[in-house]
Amino acid sequence: MKKTSWLFALAVLLSGCTTVNIPSYIKDDHPQTQVIYANFDDTLEAVKQVLNAKGWTVVDETDPTVYEHSSIRDEGGRELLLFTDIKEHPYILGTRYHRANVFLRSTSQPKQTEMELRFVTINSMTFMKTKNYKHPRAAAQIFEAVNNALK
């Protein structure tokens, strides 16, 4: 009986009790930004293709001014916010969740678009979770792939 109780307690402990809420909008902690030398529409198509090729599914497109104020809109520029689906990676002690936001903003130059990437990674373990907003390697890979797609 004692052995069964310990096994049950161990099973409850290892099954996990954390709840993970991952919002669609990612705040601007550690955003990575790069100017893409192409017009807005071409950049948008290239970004969608690159994200899809890298396993990110774009689930929604919206106006970023819903979440934060931008002076670009006041100047008549275009901007768009892309939300990706959650990528889930299970591992031995828990699960890792990733989500990305891509902001596209037209600049005052005719063939330039500002691209900003924001990431959140949540590691969910049995009784704790950690959150990280840095992902410079993934951002560099996406920026490079978008630039290559536009050549």
Q: How many CB atoms lie within 10 A of CB 122?
A: 19
The pTM for the full model equals 0.82
CA 24/CA 114 separation, integer angstroms:
21
Domain count, the chain: 1
Range of the domain at 111: 2-149
CA distances for 63 relative to 66, 69, 78, 132, 144, angstroms: 6, 10, 9, 25, 25
Q: Which residues share a beta bridge with 114?
A: 35, 105
Q: Which residues of 80-113 are buried (b: 16+ CB within 10 A; e: fewer)?
A: bbbbbebeeeeeeebbbbbbbbbbbbbeeeeebb
Tell which wins on pLDDT, 115 or 16.
Answer: 115
Phi, psi (deg, nearest 5) at residue 18: -90, 150
Q: How confident is the model at residue 116 (pLDDT cuts 50, 70, 90)?
A: very high
pLDDT single digits (tens) 22-62: 889 999 889 999 999 999 999 999 999 999 999 999 999 99
Q: How confident is the model at residue 88 (pLDDT cuts 50, 70, 90)?
A: very high
Q: Measuring CA to CA, which residue among 150, 136, 119 is closest to residue 49?
A: 150
Beta strands per DSSP E along 37-93: 58-62, 79-84, 87-91
